[in-house]
Amino acid sequence: MINLKIPSLFLTSITATLCCLSVISKPAEASTLYKDWNYAIDSFNDSITGNNVGGTKYEIYGMAFKQTADEIFVAINTNLPLAGTSSNYAADGHVGLGDLLFNFSGKNLSTASASKSLFGIRFVNNNDSGVSTTGIHDKVTAKSVAKDNGIALDSLSEYNAWVKQNGKTPSIGDLAANDPYFNQAIHVQNVIASGTKIGDINLLSNLSGLSLDFGHFGANGSHTIALSFARSLLPDGDFILSFAPECDNDIIALKGNLETIPKPVPETVPEPSSSVGLLAFAAFGGMLLKRTRQKKALNASII
């Protein structure tokens, strides 16, 4: 009996050690912070076109998010340019970039869409978005335009299976390919269906000075698209941001958080009016002192 207990204690100790090691080495589930940007890195080989899987013109490598006291920045690293691409599979001969969909509701995408709880950003004017102009929109419902833009498969689960069948690894950025955030039985909603515009966005042509570095994660898609908008247009809280081209031939999502960052308080300096007053007072004091001395000198000379 005693001989049996010792190995059992020994095993318990080893198991505990292994558990601790596995906790320590477990990769972070949320996004990765690097130089003030929150990065979601996607599989580099889960885009599809025709019979090709991985590294295609639709490949998305990563998405990044940053906030300051006044602004929000979003960037996407992908092989697809801002203008989109021509495609014989698309009904209109063109596959554009989808819209950005922000979900602060804590519900899955379909539920949040049904209750008009999404925020959406249309940032290109040549896609099949349901809103007429670019900008950020509130009370958004979302829809998928994947079928019209040429995807031959019938659902997200079929897309995931096709990528795996070709020996590649599907993922949705910070989420697993089969995460219940997206309904696996349909194509991912990738554009705004309806919404109310609440503000404009700026497409950024000069990315230097943003400290944006997708290359740090080996994300080297041929295009980095970045935009900014006013911080005040989105609420505080945890959110999921999702994006895909019109054809849903690759999908990415980023888990993030927004909080109110206090604006820097300027250093207190004396008001100009009080500075002038002090100077005038000092000058007046000086004159009085001078006159008193002159008067004393005069009195002395009379005496």
At 122 the three-state DSSP class reads strand
Q: Rounded distance, CA 84 to CA 95, Å? A: 6
Binding span for Ca ion by CB under 5 A among 46-54, 232-240, 256-264, 288-296: 46-54
**Does 42 contact Ca ion by CB under 5 A?**
yes
Q: Rounded distance, CA 272 to CA 37, Å? A: 40
Shorter beta-carbon distance to Ca ion: residue 59 or 138: 59
Query: What distances in angstroms separate CA 130 from CA 143, 204, 234, one per listed residue?
Result: 8, 24, 21
**Does 46 contact Ca ion by CB under 5 A?**
yes
**Does 94 contact Ca ion by CB under 5 A?**
yes
**Nearest to residue 254, comparing CAs of 116, 77, 62?**
62
Q: Which tokens is 158 given?
A: 């079929």
Shorter beta-carbon distance to Ca ion: residue 94 or 143: 94
- The string over 210-243, giving b where at least 16 C-beta atoms fall within 10 Å of a residue's C-beta and e elsewhere, is bebebeebebebeebbbbbbeeebbeeeebbbbb
Shorter beta-carbon distance to Ca ion: residue 187 or 228: 187
Pick from 41, 48, 53, 60: which binds Ca ion (CB under 5 A)?
Answer: 60
**Does 179 contact Ca ion by CB under 5 A?**
no
**Does 99 contact Ca ion by CB under 5 A?**
no
Q: Rounded distance, CA 138 to CA 195, Å? A: 6
Identify the DSSP state of 20: H
Binding footprint of Ca ion, residue count (CB under 5 A)? 11
User: In the window 222-261, what residues touch Ca ion (CB under 5 A)?
Assistant: 246, 250-251
**Does 174 contact Ca ion by CB under 5 A?**
no
At 37 the three-state DSSP class reads strand
Shorter beta-carbon distance to Ca ion: residue 56 or 198: 56
Q: Rounded distance, CA 67 to CA 85, Å? A: 30
**Does 136 contact Ca ion by CB under 5 A?**
no
Shortest Å distance, C-beta 35 to Ca ion: 22
**Does 158 contact Ca ion by CB under 5 A?**
no
Binding span for Ca ion by CB under 5 A among 35-43, 131-139, 199-207, 236-244: 35-43
Shorter beta-carbon distance to Ca ion: residue 78 or 228: 78
- Which residues sit at the interface with Ca ion, rule CB under 5 A? 42-43, 46, 60, 90, 92, 94, 149, 246, 250-251
